[in-house]
Amino acid sequence: MRTRTKVCGRIVTINKQTGGYEMPEAKLKVILLRHTPNPEETISMAAKLCYSPSDIESLEKKISSGDQKSFIGKLMKMGHMSPIEHASFTFAIEGISRACSHQLVRHRVASYSQQSQRYVSEESGFDYIIPPSVKNDKKLKKIFVDFMKKSQETYNMLVRGLNESELKGEAANQDARFVLPNACETKIIVTMNARELIHFFNQRCCNRAQWEIRAMAEKMLRLVKRVSPTIFASSGPLCLIGPCPESEYTCGSIKEVRKKYRIIQ
């Protein structure tokens, strides 16, 4: 028997037999919120200024799509990447684990705003991510889900105990959150410039990257390719445009990887 109710401002499902919250598995979602208007034209303006005696007023003259493609291609070939930094992209991401977000924020040339476990209570039941290797094994999945429920129960007991000690709101949340697992779902807004995104895709689209951040990176790549196909034409793992840099750690699937990224649009 199940019922739905509102707890801490959130609609949750309660199992009447156990009295516990039913915590759903989170689903990955990525949205491109904003980006530099006409990003490829903006980059072309910067490139034009570097390599011609143009004054700044002439930069506003329309640059044809063909010239934009030519400018950007030359920049990439020469490795002159600073003009690429003038275009930026802002993503909203949800349905990733705290383990994944810790990997994401290691990319330091970026801006991040993450949902706080201090100001946002998890009393109503936290969502979580199950690794495929666990999800596909019935026995392991049960062990995993049972532990998520136990973590939730422990968190709620700590919050109640801290409340009784006159610690309320974020003062209680910030200490109770120490028992929350890496699997706990988080939401984050990320802004990166195009140069950093290219580097990010090189690292995180690789088969050697963990499955979760790789899935997120692929969704981000699809989104930016729609608005800036020239900038990100060769984006993805480094083996798309050269030999695998992983040496003896290579996945050994370079042909399959190249085929996959040719169809990512």
Which tokens hold the place of 126?
A: 């936290």
Q: Which strand ranges, in their side-by-side order, compose the sheet holding 88-97? A: 29-35, 88-97, 185-193, 110-114
Q: Which residues on adjacent β-strands are paired with residue 15?
A: 2
CA atoms within a 13 Å half-sphere pointing along the CA-CB vector of 192: 23
Residue 174 neighbours by CB distance under 10 Å: 15
Torsions phi, psi of 248, nearest 5?
Answer: -70, -10
Per-residue DSSP letters for 237-257?
Answer: SGGGSSS-TTGGG--S-HHHH
Q: How far apart are CA 245 and CA 196, in angstroms?
A: 19
Q: Is 220 exposed, middle or buried (0-12, 13-18, 19+ CB in 10 A)?
A: buried
Q: How far apart are CA 152 and CA 129, in angstroms?
A: 14
Residues in the chain: 265
DSSP reduced 3-state for 181: coil
Q: How far apart are CA 43 and CA 74, in angstroms?
A: 12
Residues with a known catalytic role: 204
Q: How far apart are CA 209 and CA 99, in angstroms?
A: 13
Name the residue type at position 170.
E
